[in-house]
Structure 1
Amino acid sequence: MSKLVDNLIERVFPRLRRKPQYAYPAAIAIFLIAAAARMGLSPWLENSTPFLTFFVAVLLASLVAGTGPGLAVVAASFIFSWYIYFPGPGWFPLDGSAVVALGSFVLFSLLIVTVVHLLNRRVEGLLDERMRSESLLQDSALGELQLEQLNIELRHRLKNTFAVISGLISQSARHTRDVDQFAAALAGRLSAMGNAIDLVATRNFIGASLNELIAGTLKPLVPPGKARFVIRGPETIIPGDVASALALTLHELGTNAIKYGAWSNNGGSVSVTWTLTRLDNDDSRFELLWSERGGPAVSAPERRGLGTTLIDSGFPTAQVERRFDEGGVQCSLVAVLRQATTRRTRGRAPSVR
C-alpha cells in the first residue's frame, strides 16, 4: 500500500498536474462525485452544513490536479452550495448566516488550496533534487569509467609514441652523418608527431580531424606568398595511429618540396586534396593526392633514405604511389576506411583496414 501511495505522489500526480487537458477533467470528476455525495447525504445533513464533501473535493483536486483545478472546484462548489442550499433552490434572498457560511467556505478552501500548492511544490522540488542527485551519481560513475578508459588509452598511446620516437631517433641517426642535420630532421618529425598527438588528445583519443591535421602539419613549412598551399576535401576523422603516420608522411613530402620541389622557388605551389567514395559494403575508399605545380624538374631519389621510407609506408594498409613529373611530385595515397572513419567531427573511434 505504501508503495502505491508513493508511486501516486511521486509519479502519477505530478505528471497529471503538468497536463491541463487531463487535470481539469479530473477536477470536474472530483467535484461531480462530491456533489452527488452531498446530495445523497442530504437526509442526514442540515442545509446549513452543505460543504462537508466539498472541502474534501477541494483538497483532492488541489493535490491530484493542481492549483488551477483546485480553484475551479472551489468556484463550482461555491456556486452549487449557494444555489441549492442558501436559502434553498434559487439565489436569493440571503441572510447573514448564509453569507458568513459561504464566506467561511471560500476562505478555508483558499487556505486548503494554498497549503496543498506549497506542499506540491515542495514535493516536486524534492523529486527534482533527487533526480539531479541520481544523475550526478550516474555521471560520476560514468566519468570514473571514462577516466579509467582514457588512462588505459593514454598509457597505450605513450608506449606506442615512445616506440615510434625511439625508431625515428635510431633511423635518423643511421641515415644522417651531420649532427645539425640530424637534429633538424628529428625536430621536424617530432613536431609533426606532436601536432597529430595533440589533435587526437583534444578529442579524447577518438581521432583527429584530417583538415586540422594537414593544416597543422604543413603550416610551418609553407613558404610566404599567395596560393602556395591549398587543401580541399570532406571533413573526416582518422584514428590516432593513422594520424601520426600520415603526419610524418606529409611532413616528409613538405620537407622535400622545400628542398627540391615546388616550395624551393618563388612560384611553386602544393595542393592536398582527398575524396571519400562509399563502397557497396558501407565502407569508404579514401584517396589523398599530394600535387606539386610550378616547381623545378624533379627525379626519383638515387638512394632510399628515411624520408623516402616514411613517405612510401604511408599509414597502415595504404597504397602509396609517387610520380616525378616535370612540374613536381605527384603522390597518391589510397586506403579503404570503415564506415566509422567517414563520420564528421563527432562519433566513435574510426578504424582502418
Structure 2
Amino acid sequence: MVQLVDRLVERVLPRIRRRRLLAYPVAAGIFLAAVGVRIFLADWLPSRQPFATFFFAVLFASLIAGTGPGLLVIAASLLFTWVFYFSPPHHVEGINAGFALLAFAVFAGLIVGIVHLLNRKVESLLDERDRNEALLQDSALGELQLEQLNVELRHRLKNTFAVIAGLVSQSARYNSDVQSFATSLSGRLSAMGTAMDLVATQSFVGASLAELIAYTLKPLVPPGSSRFAVKGPELIVPADIANALALTLHELGTNAIKYGAWSNETGIVRISWKLEQLDDTEANLELVWDERGGPSVAPPERRGLGSMLIDGGFPNAKVERTFTPDGVQCRILAVVKQTTTRRTRGRRSLQSS
C-alpha cells in the first residue's frame, strides 16, 4: 500500500499534470463528482452553502491535474452555482449572489495559487532527486543520500496533503456560510504556504524562526513600526513544526485584529522566545505571544477551529493562554531535540521530542 501511494505521488500525478489531454478530463470528472455529491447531500447541506463541495473539487483538481484544470473547475463551479442557486427562480434568500460568487472566485483562486506553488516545489524536488541520481549513482555515499532524499520527499508530500485536506474539512465544519469559510481557509492556507516556502529555501531542512514569524504575520500587522516587536536567538525549526507554528501564529494574529491589541490604534504585540538547555540533545523552548494596550478580552464563549489550532496545533507542546484586561498572553512550552547539519552551517535545528 505504501509503495502504491509513493508511486502515485511521485510518478502518476506529475504525468497527469504534464498531459493536457488527460489533465482536463480528470478535472472535469472531479467537478462532476462534486456536483453529484452536492446534489446527493442537498437535504443535509443548507442552501446557504452552495459551494461546499466545490472547494474540495478545486483543491483536488489543482493537486491532481494542475493549475489550468483547477481554474477550469472554478469557472464551472461558478456557472453551476449561478444557474441552480442564484438565478431566478432559484435565488437563495439572505445571500448577495454577486458577493458570494466573487468571494468564491477569489478564495478558490488563492487555493489554486497555493497548490500551484506546492506542485512546483514537488516537481523541483523530483528534478533535484533525478539530478542527484545521475551524479551520484556510482557512489555508495550518493546512494545513501538519494535514499534520504526519497524518504524526505515522501514524508513532506504526505504531511502536506493531509494538512490541506484537514484544513478544508475542519474549516467547512466550523463555518456556517461561504464568506467566513473561504476567508478562514484562505488565511490558513496562506500561512502554511509561507512556512512551506521558507522550508523549501533551506532545502527542506527547516525555517528560521524569526523569518517564519515575520513573514506569517506581515499581512496582519497594522501600519506603524511600533505595533509589533520580535526578540529571540537565531533558531532553525524543521518543516513539521514550522507548518504548525505558522497556523498558530496566524490564528493569534487574526484574533488580535478582531478582538485584541491590533483592533485599536495603540495596541502592540511582542513575541519572544528562549531556550533552556537540558543536555547535549534536548532543550526547553518557550515562546511567548504578549499583547499590550488592547481592549479588555475574555475567553471565547465557544471553542472553534481557531482555538483548536492555537491550543493543540503545535505538536507535543503545552500551550497556556491568559486573557487579561490589557490583552491576550499565549505561552508555548515544548521540549525539543537539537541537531546540527551541514546545510544549516552550525545553526540550531529543532525537532519535537
TM bucket normalised to smaller: 0.5 to 0.7
Name the SS for the 1:272 alignment partner: strand
SS for the counterpart of 1:338 is strand
Flag the 1:260–1:342 CA change in 2: closer, same or farther, 3 A: farther
Quote the Cα distance in structure 2 between the aligned partners of 1:223 and 1:174: 30
**Contact 2:136 2:143 (8 Å CA) reproduced:** no
Q: Which residue of 2 aligns with 1:263?
A: 262
Counterpart CA distance in 1 for 2:340 and 2:309 is 23
Amino acid paired to 2:166: G
Distance in 2 between the 1:265 and 1:292 partners? 12
Task: Pick closer, same or farther for the CA change 1:306–1:282 going to 2, 3 Å.
Answer: same
Give the 3 Å change call, closer, same or farther, for CA 176–204 of structure 1 in structure 2: same
For 1:173-192, list aligned pairs within 5 A: 173-192=172-191
Q: Secondary structure at the match of 1:206?
A: coil
Aligned partner of 1:327 in structure 2 is 326
Kept in 2: contact 1:236–1:345 (CA 8 A): no
Match of 1:214 in 2: 213
Superposition deviation, residue 279 in structure 1: 1.6
Displacement of 1:194 in angstroms is: 0.6
Kept after mapping to 1: 8 A contact 2:311/2:319: yes
Q: TM-score, normalised by structure 2?
A: 0.57
Given residue 217 of structure 1, which amino acid in structure 2 is its aligned partner?
A: T
Tell me the alpha carbon deviations over residues 32-87 of structure 1, each in whole angstroms, 9 at most, x when there is no partner. Answer: xxxxxxxxxxxxxxxxxxxxxxxxxxxxxxxxxxxxxxxxxxxxxxxxxxxxxxxx
| Cα distance, 1:341–1:229 mapped onto 2, change above 3 Å | farther
Aligned residues: 218
* Structure (1 or 2) with the larger CA radius of gyration: 1
Answer whether contact 1:237 1:343 (CA < 8 A) is retained: no
Instruction: Give, in whole Å, the separation in 1 of the partners of 2:148 and 2:343.
Output: 23
- Give a deviation string over 1:246-276, Cα, whole Å, max 9, x none: 1000000000000000001111110110001
In structure 2, the partner of 1:243 is 242
2:161 paired with 1:162: yes
- d(CA) in 1 for partners of 2:352 and 2:192? 19
Kept in 2: contact 1:196–1:240 (CA 8 A): yes
Q: Does 1:351 align with 2:351?
A: yes
Q: Which runs of 5+ in 1 are unaligned?
A: 1-135
The corresponding residue for 2:203 is 204
For residues 341 and 199 of structure 2, the distance between their equivalents in structure 1, rounded to whole angstroms, comes to 16
Partner residue in 2 for 1:225:
224
Instruction: Return the alpha-carbon distance in structure 1 between the equivalents of residues 279 and 230 of structure 2.
Output: 28
**Which residue identity does 2:318 align to in structure 1?**
Q
Q: Distance in 2 between matches of 1:276 and 1:157?
A: 27
Once residues 332 and 343 of structure 1 are traced to their aligned partners in structure 2, the CA distance between those partners, rounded to angstroms, is: 31
- Residues 249 and 225 of structure 1, relative CA distance in 2, 3 Å threshold: same
Residue 315 of structure 1: SS of its match in structure 2?
A: coil
Whole-angstrom distance in 2 between the partners of 1:183 and 1:341: 40
2:200 maps to a residue whose letter is A
Instruction: Flag the 1:138–1:173 CA change in 2: closer, same or farther, 3 A.
Output: closer
Q: How far is 1:144 from its partner?
A: 6.8
Distance 2:187 2:171 in 1: 11
Instruction: Write the letter of the residue equivalent to 2:239.
Output: G
SS of residue paired to 1:299? coil
CA change 1:307–1:336 in 2 (3 A) is: same
The residue that corresponds to 1:129 in the other structure is: none
Aligned equivalents of 2:226 and 2:343: distance in 1? 27
Matched, 1:276 2:272: no
Distance 1:249 1:210 in 2: 13
1:241 maps to amino acid: D
- Please tell me whether the aligned partners of residues 205 and 343 of structure 2 are also in contact (alpha carbons under 8 angstroms): no
How many Å apart are 1:138 and its aligned residue? 6.2
TM-score of the aligned structures, taking structure 1 as reference length: 0.57
Distance 2:270 2:341 in 1: 21
How far does residue 178 in structure 1 lie from its aligned partner after superposition? Answer: 1.6
> Hey, what does 1:315 align to over in structure 2?
314
Cα pair 1:209 1:345 within 8 Å, conserved: no
Indicate if the aligned counterparts of 2:282 and 2:335 stay in contact, CA closer than 8 A: yes
Alpha-carbon shift at residue 351 of structure 1 (Å) = 2.1
**CA contact under 8 A between 1:207 and 1:238: conserved in structure 2?**
yes
Q: Match for residue 62 of structure 1? A: none
Q: Name the counterpart of 1:80.
A: none
CA distance in 1, matches of 2:207, 2:148: 18
1:339, distance to aligned residue in structure 2 (A): 2.6
Structure 1 segments, 4+ long, off by >4 Å, are: 136-145, 341-345
| CA 237–342 in structure 1, closer or farther in 2 if over 3 Å, else same | farther
- 1:201 deviates by 1.3
Contact 1:237–1:341, Cα closer than 8 Å, also in 2: no
Range with bigger deviation, 336-345 or 318-327: 336-345
- Percent identity among equivalent residues? 67
Q: Partners in 2 of 1:137 and 1:180 — Cα distance? A: 50
Change (3 A) 1:219 1:166: same
Opposite residue 162 of structure 2, the aligned amino acid is A
SS state at 2:173 partner = helix
